[in-house]
C-alpha cells in the first residue's frame, strides 16, 4: 500500500462516524463505493462527504486505490487473526463453528456491505495482492478446520476434497444475503451460517452444545487480541 503523509489536526466537527479523520474517510468511501460504485466515485466526492478538502484526504490516502485496499483488508484481517489464535484445544467442530460465527458477524455488522466490493474488476489486479494474500490465508484456515471436522466425523478428506471449501463459501454467502435482505434483517445470520457450515459436512448431532462452547471460545479469543 502507498503510504501518505501523516494527517493534520482536525479543524471541523466530524460529519461521519469514526474517532479519526482516516476513519471518517473510510466510512464515507465505504458508503460511496457500495452505493454509487467505485469507478463513479472520485476522491473529491469522498472528501466532500467527509467535509474536508481533497488535498487533506491525500494526507491520509495517496490514491483512491489505497482507500479501497484498506476497506478490503479490514474485512479479512480481523478474522484471519482470530483464526490464527484459535489454537487446537477445542474440538474441530467447535473451532469451525466459532470461526464461522466470528467471520459472519464481521461481514454483517458494519454500516456498509464491504464484501460486495470483492467482485469489483479492479480488485483482480496485482495492486490488491495484499488483500488476496490475506483472503487466501483465511480460506486455508477454514480448509484445515474443515478437513479436521471431516476426519472426526469419520468421512475422511484431504485439502483437495471439494467439501473443504464449503464452510468458507457458505460464510461468504452472507455478503449476498445482506445485499438482498438489508443490514437490519441479518442479525440471525452468524448462528445460521455457523451451524450450516457443520451440517453441510454431515454433522448431525444437536448444535446447541457446540454453539454454547463456540460462543465462549469466541469471547475468549477476542479478549486475547
Give pLDDT, residue 160. Answer: 78
Coil, helix or strand at residue 217: helix
Indicate the number of domains in the chain.
Answer: 2
Nearest to 149 by CA among 161, 136, 133, 137: 161
Q: Are residues 123 and 53 in the same domain?
A: no
With pLDDT > 90 as the criterion, what percentage of the chain qualifies?
81
Please, are residues 221 and 89 in contact by the beta-carbon 8 Å criterion?
no
Same domain, 98 and 49: no
Shared-domain flag, residues 63 and 115: no
Residue 16 lies in a domain: no
154-167 mean pLDDT: 84
Q: What is the DSSP letter of 11?
A: -
Q: Residue 8: its pLDDT value, please?
A: 46
Query: Is the same domain home to 53 and 116?
Result: no
Over range 125-141, report the average pLDDT: 96
**Judgement on whether residues 149 and 87 belong to the same structural domain of the protein:** yes
Q: What is the 3-state secondary structure (H, E, C) of 158-203?
A: CCCCHHHHHHHHHHHHHHHHHHHHCHHHCCCHHHHHHHHHHHCCCC
Q: Which of 14-18, 69-73, 189-193 has the lowest mean pLDDT?
A: 14-18
Residues 82 and 171 in one domain: yes
> Are residues 119 and 51 part of one domain?
no
pLDDT score of 59 more than 90: yes
Q: Is 161 found in the same domain as 131?
A: yes
Res 19 pLDDT > 90: no
Alpha carbon distance 21, 11 (integer Å): 10
Structural domain boundaries, residue 91? 74-223
Amino acid at each position: 500500500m502507498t503510504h501518505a503523509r501523516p494527517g493534520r489536526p482536525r479543524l471541523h466537527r466530524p460529519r461521519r462516524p469514526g474517532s479519526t479523520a482516516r476513519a471518517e474517510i473510510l466510512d464515507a468511501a465505504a458508503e460511496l463505493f457500495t452505493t454509487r460504485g467505485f469507478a463513479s466515485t472520485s476522491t473529491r466526492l469522498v472528501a466532500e462527504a467527509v467535509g474536508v478538502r481533497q488535498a487533506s484526504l491525500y494526507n491520509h490516502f495517496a490514491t483512491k486505490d489505497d482507500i479501497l485496499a484498506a476497506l478490503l483488508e479490514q474485512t479479512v484481517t480481523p478474522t484471519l487473526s482470530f483464526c490464527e489464535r484459535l489454537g487446537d484445544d477445542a474440538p474441530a467442530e467447535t473451532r469451525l463453528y466459532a470461526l464461522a460465527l466470528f467471520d459472519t458477524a464481521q461481514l454483517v455488522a458494519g454500516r456498509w456491505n464491504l464484501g460486495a466490493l470483492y467482485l469489483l474488476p479492479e480488485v483482480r489486479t496485482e495492486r490488491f495482492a495484499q488483500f488476496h494474500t490475506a483472503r487466501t490465508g483465511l480460506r486455508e484456515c477454514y480448509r484445515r478446520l474443515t478437513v479436521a471436522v471431516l476426519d472426526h466425523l469419520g468421512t475422511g478428506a484431504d485439502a483437495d476434497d471439494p467439501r473443504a471449501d464449503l464452510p468458507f463459501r457458505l460464510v461468504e454467502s452472507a455478503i449476498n444475503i445482506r445485499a438482498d435482505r438489508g443490514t437490519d434483517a441479518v442479525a440471525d445470520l452468524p448462528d445460521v451460517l455457523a451451524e450450516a457450515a457443520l451440517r453441510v459436512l454431515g454433522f448431525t448431532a444437536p448444535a446447541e452444545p457446540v454453539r454454547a462452547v463456540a460462543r465462549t471460545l469466541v469471547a475468549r479469543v477476542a479478549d486475547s487480541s
